[in-house]
Amino acid sequence: MKLVISGTKIRLRKLTLSDINSLSKNINDEEIARWTLRIPYPYKRSDAEKFINQAHDNFRKKIAYNFAVTEIDNDEVIGGIGLSNLDWEDKKAELGYWLGRNYWGRGFTTEAVSLFTNYAFNNLKLHRIYACTFDKNIASQRVLEKCGFQLEGTLREAMFKRNRYYDEKFYGLLKHEWKKPADK
């Protein structure tokens, strides 16, 4: 089954091994690694291959869902979005995303989060989605707020990266709070 979620500017789809080059090219950026916990820098082709294989395995096991973000008229991977820490009993999961620097400021991330949130609530039947950001990652916080996520609190010195601790902003969204893109 080919799973594709289309919006007006972007498309979300499952990753394939043919994505190694575009994934490696667009994620290999120190600024992206700076604002994420698990993306290394430099990001190598072997990292991309390992991630794609793991994404397929996790999808099959229903323990994580990772999608490529592409422009609507181009199949090159320009970003990624996914759910991890899936808890099927409590029907909740953690949202994570990134976008290549050349695509920032064009509304792609907001559209990706909106489309994927809709998929998570309506197809995966989740009740709650949450996301965490570094306290200084204002752009990511704005994306979450535009998509209806509410700031639930700040966890002091909860993230460790580059040999120091950072505060973490914790956002959440419940299914009954979600307004589909057409409803906004």
**Residue ranges of the chain with pLDDT lower than 70?**
1, 180-184
Q: Would you say the pTM of this structure is higher than 0.85?
A: yes
Residue type, 85: N
DSSP bridge partners of 170: 132, 153
* d(C-alpha 83, C-alpha 129), whole Å: 9
Amino acid 168: pLDDT: 97
The CATH number of the domain holding residue 50 is 3.40.630.30
Amino acid 181: pLDDT: 56
CA distances from 75 to 23, 69, 114, 148, 152 (A): 11, 9, 20, 28, 36
Amino acid 179: pLDDT: 81
Domain limits at 143? 4-183
Amino acid 73: pLDDT: 93
E strand segments, the chain: 4-6, 10-14, 65-71, 77-87, 92-99, 128-134, 150-161, 164-174
* First-to-final CA distance of the chain: 30
Amino acid 103: pLDDT: 96
Amino acid 184: pLDDT: 46
Amino acid 180: pLDDT: 63
Looking at the structure of the chain, the number of domains it has is 1
**41, 114 in Cβ contact below 8 A?**
no
Give the model confidence (pLDDT) of 4-52 as tens digits: 999 999 999 999 999 999 999 999 999 998 888 889 899 999 999 999 9
